[in-house]
């Protein structure tokens, strides 16, 4: 059975589900339930939306599943409504606004489909549900088990990540398996990080580059689910084990699990983007983010490999006087060597 394609990787859920420590009994049951769910995102491509003649306003809608699993649940806050006092509802609403703010103000994109799609989400999904996911039409957030994970609306990078899967579906349509699937996950991490940085006004050097910071409870020795600046260092815990993400092609993981290691091998292009952003300096969403965004809009194969995606980013970077930095970043993570790197006359 294919497991859920959510923000929490299946390998981490399996580790939690196997725990026999009474301190984590609720977490183990919650992880077992999350693994049995089959909603997903990515791996298909929506028809390209045609932007309307006039700008469309931001539209948000947050529903409450009331600890059931029927979607979308009861609408509790719509665009323009005041805060509800339910922290999960209000965090989701604000996170949708922050994500739209990046897409609209920086890239001129009107919502995730570029045609003003309502940003919809459901909170309080299930009981102690240990994940958050984009189901192809809306966001879904669990409240966490309280032992290992807290509520999944607490991390803005998670909200940005999952909505970015929608952007991928409406653009490149990267197939959610093997290297193209790892790129799908990486692009979602990139824009999850950029949403967080843009909202905080952080430069590339100031940013944490963590995905899912704030999800773990204090019982966990870890900062986040993933680190883009140093893949493999996000957590190192006696119970959860050590973050297994590679940062270089030398450590690429060959596996049939997790759709071919999409949450693992995404660490390699994640590190490449971090190197580009910090190499260029300033705000990562301005040049580095624009290169990645324009690559999604280009003639990219839905089954693109790391090398094909890398070459596409270098070609786009030529238009931004950044090709040398981009080329060097991909070489640093082993996607190509100096002799196989695409040549350039400038950059």
The packing angle between helices 178-200 and 87-107, to 10°, is 100
Task: Categorise residue 266: left if φ over 0, alpha if ψ from -120 to 50, beta otherwise.
Answer: alpha
DSSP H helices, the chain, are 10-17, 25-36, 87-107, 156-170, 178-200, 258-265, 267-280, 288-297, 306-317, 323-332
Q: Which residues contact 189 (CB under 8 A, 6 or more apart)?
A: 157, 161, 211, 226, 228, 266, 270
Assign 184 to helix, strand or coil. helix
128 close to 145: Cβ distance less than 8 angstroms? yes
List, by residue number, the catalytic residues. 162, 263
158 close to 152: Cβ distance less than 8 angstroms? yes
Residue 238 burial (CB count, 10 A): 7
Residue 299 burial (CB count, 10 A): 8
């Amino acid at each position: 059975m294919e497991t859920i394609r959510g923000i929490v990787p299946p390998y981490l859920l399996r580790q939690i589900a196997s725990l026999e420590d009474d301190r984590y009994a609720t977490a183990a049951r919650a992880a077992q339930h999350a693994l049995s769910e089959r909603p997903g995102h990515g791996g298909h491509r929506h028809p390209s939306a045609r932007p309307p003649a006039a700008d469309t306003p931001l539209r948000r809608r947050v529903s409450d599943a009331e600890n059931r699993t029927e979607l979308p649940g009861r609408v509790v806050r719509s665009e323009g409504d005041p805060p509800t006092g339910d922290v999960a509802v209000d965090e989701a609403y604000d996170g949708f606004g922050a994500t739209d703010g990046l897409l609209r103000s920086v890239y001129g994109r009107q919502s995730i489909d570029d045609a003003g799609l309502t940003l919809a989400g459901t909170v309080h999904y299930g009981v102690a549900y240990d994940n958050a996911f984009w189901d192809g039409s809306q966001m879904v957030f669990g409240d966490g088990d309280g032992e290992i994970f807290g509520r999944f609306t607490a991390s803005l990078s998670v909200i940005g990540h999952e909505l970015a899967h929608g952007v991928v579906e409406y653009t490149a349509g990267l197939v959610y398996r093997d290297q193209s699937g790892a790129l799908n996950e990486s692009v979602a991490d990139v824009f999850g990080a950029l949403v967080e940085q843009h909202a905080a006004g952080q430069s590339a050097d100031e940013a944490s580059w963590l995905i899912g910071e704030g999800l773990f409870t204090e019982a966990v020795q870890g900062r986040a689910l993933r680190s883009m600046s140093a893949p493999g260092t996000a957590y190192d815990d006696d119970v959860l084990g050590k973050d297994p993400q590679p940062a270089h092609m030398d450590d690429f993981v060959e596996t049939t699990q997790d759709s071919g290691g999409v949450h693992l091998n995404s660490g390699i292009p994640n590190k490449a983007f971090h190197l580009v952003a910090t190499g260029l300096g300033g705000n990562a969403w301005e040049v580095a983010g624009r290169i990645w965004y324009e690559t999604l809009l280009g003639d990219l194969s839905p089954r693109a490999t790391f090398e094909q995606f890398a070459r596409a980013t270098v070609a786009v970077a030529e238009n931004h006087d950044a090709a040398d930095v981009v080329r060097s970043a991909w070489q640093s993570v082993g996607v190509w060597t100096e002799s196989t790197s695409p040549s350039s006359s400038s950059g």
